Copies of this chain bind each other. A is one copy, B any other.
Amino acid sequence: MTSRSRGFSAERELVRKLWKMGLAAMRGPASGAKVKKSVYPDVVAIKDRYIFVFEVKARKHLDNIYIPKSQIDKLIEFARRAGGEPLIAVKIHDLKVWKVIPASSLIPVSEKRYKISREMLESAYKITHYINDNLNKTLISYIKVADFKQV
């Protein structure tokens, strides 16, 4: 498997996982001659108007990950327009786990690159945990508004 096809395979796995969790999830178009992939996020997932925007990475082991700043800028711009959260989803094959890092936690290491350190990745939320947590928080805020209106 090339790194490119491994990337696509991870994106498809993530979409299936999110769909099973009840979200509407979609991959972006594959890159090719006529498509500037970089303008799109890898995956967008939505539940009841709560929007998650993902850059997807797949790695064999737990290790530092470096990401071009241009990729992150596009991710953040898409999320800003949508009113969603820009996130990096990382599949670590050895650990059979998906981790998630908010784009705001990335460490700039040069003018052109961001870093996710091995330690950050190790202590990051599992993606299912992170998403359920955020969807529940939103639900609780709705309930509070409803309570308030009754008073």
**Could you tell me which A residues sit within 8 Å of B by CB distance?**
12, 22-24, 26-30, 34-35, 40-41, 44, 46-51, 53, 77-84
Contacts and interface: CB of A to CB of B under 8 A. Distances in A.
A71 to B, nearest CB: 15
A26 B26 contact: yes
- Which DSSP category, helix, strand, loop or mixed, fits chain A's interface? mixed
A44 B26 contact: yes
A28 B42 CA distance: 10
A85 B87 CA distance: 24
B30 A82 contact: no
B24 A79 contact: yes
Contacts of A84: 24, 46, 49
Contact of A27 (B22, B29, B51): B29
A143 to B, nearest CB: 17
B44 A44 contact: yes
